[in-house]
Amino acid sequence: MQKDDGAATTSAELRAHNLARLLRAIHEGGGQLTRAELTRRLSLARGTATVLVRDLAGRRLIEELTGPVDATAQRARGRPTGVPSAHAEGPVALAVDLRDDSYTVAAFELTGRGTVLDRAERDAGSGTEMLEEVAERLKIRCGQFDARVVGVGIAVPSPVRGGTMVQPTLPEWQDVDVTAALRPASACGPVLAGNDATLAGLAEARRGVLRGVPVALHLHVATGIGGVLLADGLPVTGAHGSAGEFGHMPLTGSDEPCRCGSTGCWELDAGARGLLRAAGQPEQGDRMLQAEQIIATAGTDRDSGRALALAARALGRGIGALVNAQDPEAVGLSGLAAEIFQADPGAVTAGYLSTLMRFRRDDPPALLPSTLGDLGALTGASELVFDAFLTPRGLAGWPAPGQKTA
CB of 256 to Zn ion, least distance (A): 10
Measured between alpha carbons, how far is 317 from 60 in angstroms, rounded to an integer?
A: 50
CB of 140 to Zn ion, least distance (A): 38
Choices 228-236, 248-256, 349-357, 389-397; region in contact with Zn ion by CB under 5 A: 248-256
Q: Could you say whether residue 260 binds Zn ion (CB under 5 A)?
A: yes
Nearest to 96 by CA among 372, 381, 387: 381
Give the amino acid at 327: D
Q: Could you say whether residue 263 binds Zn ion (CB under 5 A)?
A: no
CB of 126 to Zn ion, least distance (A): 25
CB of 254 to Zn ion, least distance (A): 11
Choices 255-263, 293-301, 312-320, 381-389; region in contact with Zn ion by CB under 5 A: 255-263
Q: Could you say whether residue 265 binds Zn ion (CB under 5 A)?
A: yes
Q: Could you say which DSSP state residue 265 is in?
A: -
| Residues 6 or more apart whose Cβ sits within 8 Å of residue 296 | none
Q: Could you say whether residue 248 binds Zn ion (CB under 5 A)?
A: yes
Q: With respect to Zn ion, which residue has the nearer C-beta, 29 or 168?
A: 168
Among residues 72, 74, 262, 405, which is the contact residue for Zn ion, using CB under 5 A?
262
Choices 56-64, 176-184, 233-241, 258-266; region in contact with Zn ion by CB under 5 A: 258-266
CB of 260 to Zn ion, least distance (A): 3
CB of 289 to Zn ion, least distance (A): 22
Choices 144-152, 253-261, 367-375, 377-385; region in contact with Zn ion by CB under 5 A: 253-261
Q: With respect to Zn ion, which residue has the nearer C-beta, 117 or 260?
A: 260
Q: With respect to Zn ion, which residue has the nearer C-beta, 270 or 310?
A: 270
Measured between alpha carbons, how far is 403 from 388 in angstroms, rounded to an integer?
A: 20
Choices 44-52, 172-180, 242-250, 372-380; region in contact with Zn ion by CB under 5 A: 242-250
Among residues 258, 294, 340, 367, which is the contact residue for Zn ion, using CB under 5 A?
258
Question: How far lies 15's CA from each of 6, 22, 52, 91, 381, in Å?
Answer: 14, 10, 8, 20, 28
| Residues 6 or more apart whose Cβ sits within 8 Å of residue 345 | none
Q: With respect to Zn ion, which residue has the nearer C-beta, 31 or 318?
A: 318
C-beta of residue 186 within 8 angstroms of C-beta of residue 142: no
Q: Could you say whether residue 74 binds Zn ion (CB under 5 A)?
A: no
CB of 102 to Zn ion, least distance (A): 24
CB of 320 to Zn ion, least distance (A): 19
Measured between alpha carbons, how far is 148 from 158 in angstroms, rounded to an integer?
A: 29
Q: Which residues bind Zn ion (CB under 5 A)?
A: 248, 258, 260, 262, 265
